[in-house]
Amino acid sequence: MEKETNFDYIIIGAGAAGLMLASAMVKDDFFLNKSILLLDKDAKIANDRTWCFWEKGEGEFKSIVSKTWNNIYFGSTEFSQDYAIAPYQYKMVYGADFYRAYFDRLKDKPNISFRQEQVTSVIDEGSIVIITTDYSSYSASKVFTSSFDYKMATHQKKYPVLQQHFLGWTIKTEKPIFNPDQATYMDFSIPQKGNIRFMYILPFSKNEALVEYTLFSENRLQKEEYEEALVRYLENNLDCGTYEITETERGSIPMTAYNFREHHTKNIRYIGTAGGWAKPSTGYTFMSTAKKVPVLIEFIKTGKPLNKLSFKNRYGFYDLLFLDVLAKHNDQGHKIFESLFKSCPPQLIFKFLDEDTTLLEDFKFISACPTKPFVKALLRRI
C-alpha cells in the first residue's frame, strides 16, 4: 500500500508543543475528518528532559506528574528564606512519561499518524506547504513547526537575546542531606563571575536530587565549567560527601521578547520555543504552551491566515524591560531577584509570571524591583 503524502495538517516536532497540539486536535470534532501527520527525527521514548511548573490544584497533567513540592527556598549572599507556596505546588514531569501518555492518546485515532523522519525543508507555496524529509516529501494545507534555531532571534538587535543555559546532575548521596518537600528555586550564594548564576535543586528523597547549575547570559560555557561549579557546590555548600551521578541533563532556553511573527506565514505557524512561547523573563515553557494551544486551536478553526494570530499583551512589555535590564546589568542581575523575594510573597511572583495579576498586583510586583535600572530601560524604549 502506497504511503500517504498529502495531509490537511502537518506538525513538525513531537515535543511538548507538538504533542499538546496533536492531542487537542484529535479531541476536537472539527478535526475529526482532517488528516494529520506528526513528524520527528526521534522516536520520543527517551527521558531526554524534565519540565517543571507551578500550579494550583491537581491540574490536567496530574497523571504524569512525578513529584511535587509544597515549599521553595531562595538563597543569596544577602538574603535567604524558606517559603510555603500554598495554594500552589511546584511540579515536575519527566519527558519520557509525557511522551508515553500523549502518544497513547493518539495511537487509536485513525486520522493521525506519526513518522520518524528528519525534516530538511519547509516551503509555503501559497496554496500549499511542501515539506521534504530525509525519506520522503509531503504536502499540507497548514503546517505547525517547533523547529528552533537561535539565529531566528539573534539576526536582529532591537530585542536582547539571552540564554538560560544549564547542566544538571541527578545524584544519590550516602548522607541524607535533602528536604524532599522543598525545592531550591534559586541559590545565588555562588560566584557570579559577571553573569547571573544560581543553583537549582529538585530533591526526590533525602538522598537523591537533581542539582542544576544555571546561568542567564548571552553565551554558553564549556561543559567543564558547569561541571566544576557543580562539584564545588556539592562539596562546599551542601557538604554532601560521597555521591553518585545517575543522570545528566544539559540544555539552553532562549530568553527574549523578540516577536517571532516574521517567521510565520499564511500557512506555517511556529509553535513552542520556536514561536516565542517560552516565557521571556523565566524560560518556563510547559504551562505557557498548555495555555496557548487552546487559543491556537480556536484560531485554526476560523480559517484565517496563521500569521494573523497574536499573543501580545502587557506582560510582553514587562518582559522586554526586564530583559533589557538583565542584558545591560547582567553582573547585577541577582540583586533584582533578591529584591523581589525580599518584598513579594512567592504566590504573587508566581501569579505575575502566570500573567494572571490585576494592575494593582502588577504595581506591587514592579515596585519590588530596583527602580533606577528599570526606569532607564523604560525611557530608552519610549
Calpha distance 115→228 (Å, rounded) = 40
Residue 76 in domain: no
In this structure, are 214 and 324 located in the same domain? Answer: no
Bond from prior residue into 280 cis (ω within 30 degrees of 0) = no
CATH of the domain at 103: 3.50.50.60
Residue 123 in domain: yes
CATH of the domain at 210: 3.30.9.10
Strands 129-133 and 137-145: antiparallel
Cell of 162: 539571552
In this structure, are 16 and 101 located in the same domain? Answer: yes
In this structure, are 168 and 293 located in the same domain? Answer: no
pLDDT in the model for residue 233: 97
pLDDT tens column, 303-313 = 999 999 999 89
pLDDT in the model for residue 48: 87
Domain ranges, residue 367: 314-381
Number of domains in the chain: 3
In this structure, are 262 and 377 located in the same domain? Answer: no
Contact indicator for 144, 272 with CB cutoff of 8 Å: no
pLDDT in the model for residue 153: 92
In this structure, are 226 and 110 located in the same domain? Answer: no
Question: Residue 232 is inside which H or E element, if any?
Answer: helix 223-232
Q: Which positions ≥6 away from 104 have C-beta within 8 Å? A: none
pLDDT in the model for residue 2: 54
Question: Residue 299 is inside which H or E element, if any?
Answer: helix 286-300
Residue 217 in domain: yes
The backbone torsions φ and ψ at residue 92, rounded to the nearest 5 degrees and listed phi first, read: -135, 140
Calpha distance 176→319 (Å, rounded) = 39
In this structure, are 209 and 349 located in the same domain? Answer: no
In this structure, are 197 and 330 located in the same domain? Answer: no
Q: Say if pTM beats, i.e. exceeds, 0.85.
A: yes
In this structure, are 239 and 347 located in the same domain? Answer: no
Greatest C-alpha distance within the chain = 68
Residue 81 in domain: no
In this structure, are 243 and 377 located in the same domain? Answer: no
pLDDT in the model for residue 185: 97
In this structure, are 225 and 251 located in the same domain? Answer: yes
Half-sphere CA count of 39, side-chain side, radius 13 A? 28
Closest CA to 269 of 128, 144, 142: 144
pLDDT < 70 positions in the chain: 1-2
In this structure, are 226 and 304 located in the same domain? Answer: no
Contact indicator for 233, 190 with CB cutoff of 8 Å: yes
In this structure, are 368 and 243 located in the same domain? Answer: no
Closest CA to 131 of 113, 114, 119, 147: 119
